[in-house]
């Protein structure tokens, strides 16, 4: 086998492997991890800028340092 043929087989095997992992995630095969993980929004946790607790914490801190006239 020539070097270019070996390289072609390696590239083809890699592409098939990655596609197999992605298909496994999309059809929901348990135990088969995907290449790209899912994103989870964490809005509403106390340290996120959108949460009420985060807004209250920042307002209290800014009032204490004199940024706002509270």
Q: Enumerate the domain spans of the chain.
A: 1-31
Q: What pLDDT, on a 0 to 100 scale, did the predictor assign at position 7?
A: 92
Q: What pLDDT, on a 0 to 100 scale, did the predictor assign at position 30?
A: 63
Can you tell me the mean pLDDT for 45-66? Answer: 75
How far lies 45's CA from each of 6, 50, 58, in Å?
Answer: 51, 9, 14
Question: 68 by DSSP, 3-state: which?
Answer: coil
User: Would the pTM count as exceeding 0.85?
Assistant: no
Q: Which residue has the higher pLDDT, 43 or 4?
A: 4
């Amino acid at each position: 086998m020539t070097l270019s043929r070996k390289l072609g087989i390696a590239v083809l095997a890699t592409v098939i492997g990655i596609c197999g992992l992605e298909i496994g995630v999309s059809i929901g095969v348990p135990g088969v991890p995907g290449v790209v993980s899912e994103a989870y929004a964490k809005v509403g946790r106390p340290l996120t800028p959108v949460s009420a607790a985060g807004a209250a914490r920042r307002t209290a801190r800014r009032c204490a340092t004199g940024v706002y006239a509270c």
